[in-house]
């Protein structure tokens, strides 16, 4: 509107403008004052986050107990119960995260701001604020987990469990039978694909409501750094250890080619996945006899040692607990022994994937494991009990602090202890009579590398795949081809046959249908060696890193316990520094640990064509 056309004089116009400006300024001042008044106080923010912690803790404990029952008694009804409890937990998490946005402008202490940030990340798979979609998400999650846990393979006229076909993969040397077991298990996951894609849609919608582009970006935000910076950090760590992996892959491929023939395993290119001794080709220890060093001093067979001493599942658990108590850490409560599942029941379906549980955020810690008396499960037992030890260590932290410094810490605790299962330790505990000579070290390191080093690229690529799925770079039509492209890129492993158009091979891995982020395992394989190296330095160890055992060293135990007690109450670099003196994750300890093996592998590979 033009004031000139209103017939007012210039003086009158100036007066009107002045009054208008004054009124506008007064209005803006009133609005600013009202906005300032509407910003909650620090006290209100503190009360809100305390209430949120209490509500989430209560809901999580109930969900944990229902999930325990469901995992140990898989039925139609327990599936419904866990879906209902999960729905309520998701709804609560979403509701609290949305309400927390009200406090975004509050200038609060750093520790409180950290809790608010963690609240936004509390759900692995968020749902939108829509009760129908939240219920749908919970039902899909329960269904996917149940399909996996109850899956059977039609093979040789019988229905075989995952455990049974995994035994075939581990021990058989007939390519045709190995392929039948491998391919049969991947038929189990085909019905998951449509529901998995729908789950991704719902969860991405929930992530966007919380302010994240997609679920993958949300997961990468949980490491006290920018999501893109975390991607670069993972690549940096992989770059440190990749030369070691490349040497191992080259040697294993050549030895398998010699054993099976070039028709089955060409001496160039990726290795067929069904021939590596593990259902997912994620660790290769079961093909040790085919690729072990020729000649030289003999190593030892931990499985045979355990069976010779008549170990049962609880004996293995007591051995793991005993290592921690030797460091001055409190023993597990009696309820652990009374309530854990140590072996597979004969009368019902259970989820046999080994796991550790904290059911009351205090002392009701348990493991669930269909234990076999093997060296592999002996190490797994240390891993799972390591979770329980960590859970008890940080039990006095508030809800958001009562977890690992980041998820890789949780996975690394028990594995760091397992690195101290050396010949000296085995002799000290009565499992081994004579310590193998130093010439046996290459054989011992080869066994470890086939499990530890071989795993690293798999640990990296699983979430690389999911990040691409959540971002939309991979669609349901390219889920499977994208999976195998990443496996070839990182592992030098390929599918052993032409995959069907409806295949959903990622779903054949427990952590995909059960929505467990996987980057934690890659980080744990870095951290466990970094922890081990630091522990050995604290103990004053002077010899090769792979021969060091910290068994019985209470001084090391004290600093280790101090790190664990921090939980996630402070950024993870603070926790890392408490134990190692460093604020950066570092793969150089992996390289140092396996240095003698790397030298040996490179000598074996000097006339071979490595890479794929």
Q: Where are the domains of the chain?
A: 4-38, 234-308+405-604
Determine contact, residues 488/379, Cβ cutoff 8 Å. Answer: no
Question: What is the spatial distance between Cα 524 and Cα 323, in angstroms, rounded to a whole number?
Answer: 19
Q: What is the mean pLDDT of residues 11-32?
A: 46
- Average pLDDT of the chain, as a whole number: 91
Q: What is the pLDDT at residue 349?
A: 83
* pLDDT of residue 35 exceeding 60: no
Q: What is the mean pLDDT of residues 198-206?
A: 97
Measured in degrees and rounded to the nearest 5, phi and psi for residue 358 equal: -125, 105
* pLDDT of residue 8 exceeding 60: no
Torsion of CA 521, 525, 531, 532, to 10 degrees: 140
Q: What is the pLDDT at residue 2?
A: 30
Q: What is the pLDDT at residue 30?
A: 56
Q: Residue 333, class by beta-carbon neighbours within 10 Å (0-12 exposed, 13-18 middle, 19+ buried)?
A: middle
Question: What is the spatial distance between Cα 128 and Cα 137, in angstroms, rounded to a whole number?
Answer: 10
**Residue 300, number of CB atoms within 10 A of its CB:** 20
pTM attached to this predicted model:
0.87
Question: What is the spatial distance between Cα 419 and Cα 437, in angstroms, rounded to a whole number?
Answer: 19
Determine contact, residues 579/531, Cβ cutoff 8 Å. Answer: yes
**Residue 543, number of CB atoms within 10 A of its CB:** 9
State the Cα angle at 169 between 166 and 171, rounded to 5°.
Answer: 105
* pLDDT of residue 607 exceeding 70: yes
Question: For the segment 86-131, what is each residue's pLDDT rounded down to a tens digit?
Answer: 899 989 998 998 899 899 899 999 999 999 989 988 889 999 989 9
Structure confidence at residue 563 as a pLDDT band (50, 70, 90): very high
State the Cα angle at 404 between 384 and 52, rounded to 5°.
Answer: 120
| Helices 375-393, 554-566: inter-axial angle, 10-degree rounding | 60
The sign one gets for the Cα dihedral 391, 420, 283, 172 is: negative
Structure confidence at residue 286 as a pLDDT band (50, 70, 90): very high
Q: Where are the alpha helices (DSSP H) in 261-374?
A: 288-291, 302-308, 313-326, 334-339
Question: For the segment 209-263, what is each residue's pLDDT rounded down to a tens digit?
Answer: 988 999 999 999 999 999 999 999 999 999 999 999 999 999 999 999 999 999 9
Question: What is the spatial distance between Cα 491 and Cα 271, in angstroms, rounded to a whole number?
Answer: 9
Question: What is the spatial distance between Cα 96 and Cα 248, in angstroms, rounded to a whole number?
Answer: 48
Which of 155, 179, 350, 414 is CA-nearest to residue 281? 179
Question: For the segment 344-395, what is each residue's pLDDT rounded down to a tens digit?
Answer: 998 888 888 899 999 998 899 999 999 999 988 998 999 999 999 999 999 9
Question: What is the spatial distance between Cα 300 and Cα 440, in angstroms, rounded to a whole number?
Answer: 9
């Amino acid at each position: 509107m033009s004031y000139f056309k209103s017939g007012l004089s210039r003086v009158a116009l100036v007066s009107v403008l002045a009054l208008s400006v004054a009124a506008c300024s007064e209005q803006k001042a009133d609005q600013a004052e009202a906005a300032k008044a509407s910003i909650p106080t620090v006290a209100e923010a503190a009360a809100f986050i305390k209430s949120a912690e209490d509500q989430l803790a209560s809901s999580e404990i109930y969900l944990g107990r229902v999930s325990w029952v469901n995992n140990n008694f898989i039925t139609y009804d327990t599936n419904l119960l866990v879906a209902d409890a999960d729905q309520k937990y998701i709804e609560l998490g979403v509701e609290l995260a949305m309400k927390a946005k009200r406090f975004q402008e509050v200038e609060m202490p750093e520790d409180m701001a950290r809790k608010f940030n963690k609240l936004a990340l509390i759900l692995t798979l968020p749902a939108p604020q829509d009760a129908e979609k939240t219920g749908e998400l919970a039902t899909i999650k329960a269904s996917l987990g149940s399909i996996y846990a109850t899956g059977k393979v039609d093979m040789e006229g019988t229905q075989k469990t995952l455990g049974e076909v995994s035994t075939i993969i581990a021990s058989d040397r007939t390519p045709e039978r190995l392929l039948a077991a491998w391919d049969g298990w991947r038929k189990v996951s085909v019905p998951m694909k449509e529901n998995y894609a729908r789950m991704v849609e719902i969860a991405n919608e929930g992530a966007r409501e919380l302010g994240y582009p997609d679920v993958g970006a949300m997961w990468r935000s949980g490491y006290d750094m920018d999501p893109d910076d975390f991607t670069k950090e993972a690549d940096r760590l992989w770059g440190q250890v990749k030369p070691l992996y490349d040497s191992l892959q080259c040697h294993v491929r050549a030895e398998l080619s010699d054993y099976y023939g070039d028709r089955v395993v060409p001496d160039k290119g990726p290795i067929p996945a069904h021939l590596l001794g593990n259902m997912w080709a994620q660790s290769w220890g079961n093909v040790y006899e085919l690729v072990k060093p020729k000649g030289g001093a003999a190593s030892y067979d931990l499985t045979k040692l355990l069976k010779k001493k008549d170990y049962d599942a609880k004996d293995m658990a007591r051995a793991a607990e005993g290592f921690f108590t030797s460091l001055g850490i409190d023993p597990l409560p009696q309820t652990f022994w009374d309530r854990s599942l140590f072996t597979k029941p004969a009368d019902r379906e259970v989820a046999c994937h080994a796991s550790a549980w904290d059911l009351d955020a205090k002392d009701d810690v348990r493991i669930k494991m269909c234990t076999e008396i093997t060296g592999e499960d002996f190490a797994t037992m240390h891993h799972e009990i390591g979770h329980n030890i960590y859970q008890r260590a940080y039990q006095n932290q508030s809800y958001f602090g009562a977890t690992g410094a980041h998820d890789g810490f949780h996975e690394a605790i028990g594995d760091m202890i397992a690195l101290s299962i050396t010949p000296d330790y085995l002799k000290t505990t009565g499992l081994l009579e004579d310590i193998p000579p130093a010439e046996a070290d290459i054989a011992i390191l080869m066994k470890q590398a086939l499990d530890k080093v071989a795993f690293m690229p798999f640990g990296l690529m699983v979430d690389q795949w999911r990040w691409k799925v959540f971002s939309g770079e991979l669609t349901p039509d390219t889920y499977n081809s994208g999976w195998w492209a990443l496996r070839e890129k990182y592992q030098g492993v390929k599918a052993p046959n032409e995959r069907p158009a409806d295949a959903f091979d990622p779903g054949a891995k427990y952590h995909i249908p059960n929505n467990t982020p996987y980057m934690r395992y890659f980080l744990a394989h870095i951290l466990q060696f970094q922890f081990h190296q630091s522990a050995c330095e604290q103990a004053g160890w002077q010899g090769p890193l792979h021969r060091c055992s910290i068994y019985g060293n209470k001084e090391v135990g004290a600093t280790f316990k101090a790190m664990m007690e921090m939980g996630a109450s402070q950024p993870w670099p603070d926790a890392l520094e408490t134990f190692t003196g460093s604020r950066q994750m570092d793969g150089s300890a992996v390289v140092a640990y396996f240095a003698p093996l790397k030298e040996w592998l490179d000598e074996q590979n000097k006339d071979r064509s490595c890479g794929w």
